[in-house]
Amino acid sequence: MRVLICRKRSFKDSSFICISMGVSFRLDNIDAGTATGKSKENAVLKDGSLAVLARVVGVKQLKGLMLAMYLNIPNTSIINLINEQCPETGLSDANDKVMIETTQKCLLYWKQIRSNSKDKDKLKELKTALEKLGEEDIRKVIEDKAADNLELTADAFSE
């Protein structure tokens, strides 16, 4: 959507902008870096961080798929994501690369279906799922990085 500033008004020291569809937003509610007014997501939940998490979890047998189940992704969605990666054989003969890619797609799908949730709720759900999976060390890394709003890196898991 294209944002056009058509008129500025003042209402009790708050400026408003008029959007082309007739909706107005208070300027003080809009982040300086975004045009939508949404706050920035936690760095741990960014696509790159989820890709790193997929690399760490996805190579451990079927733990990537188990993580997807603990994240309450519907089973049919998980099966569809698997079939996109391996339409003929499924994951029966999958190598590490395919397992990582499938885990990454599951994590990105989880992020998409939880797009209306708050970051703290998504982080709590992710940490709980990792705990249930038995990956306490990964959960601790995510908790530390989320507290500092830092993206996940591969070297964070080797420490």
What is the DSSP code string of the chain?
-------EEEETTEEEEE-TTS-EEEGGGS-TT-SS-PPPPPGGGSHHHHHHHHHHHHTSTTHHHHHHHHTT--HHHHHHHHHHH-TTTTTTT--HHHHHHHHHHHHHHHHHHTTTS-HHHHHHHHHHHHHHHT-HHHHHHHHHHHHHT----GGGGT-
The torsion angle over the Cα atoms of residues 29, 30, 31 and 36, rounded to 10 degrees, is 140
User: What would the pLDDT profile of 80-106 be if each residue is shown by its tens digit?
Assistant: 988 888 777 777 777 888 889 999 999
User: What would the pLDDT profile of 3-49 be if each residue is shown by its tens digit?
Assistant: 444 444 444 444 444 344 444 444 444 334 444 445 588 888 999 99
pLDDT of residue 39: 58
9/4 Cα distance (integer angstroms): 14
What's the mean per-residue pLDDT of the chain?
A: 78
Check whether 61 has a pLDDT greater than 90: no
Assign 159 a pLDDT band (cuts: 50, 70, 90).
Answer: low
Work out the angle at residue 55's Cα, subtended by the Cα atoms of residues 49 and 56, and round it to the nearest 5 degrees.
Answer: 95
Q: What is the arithmetic mean of pLDDT over 110-123? A: 93
pTM of the model: 0.72
Q: What is the arithmetic mean of pLDDT over 132-149? A: 92
Domain assignments of the chain as residue spans, ordered by start: 1-40, 43-157
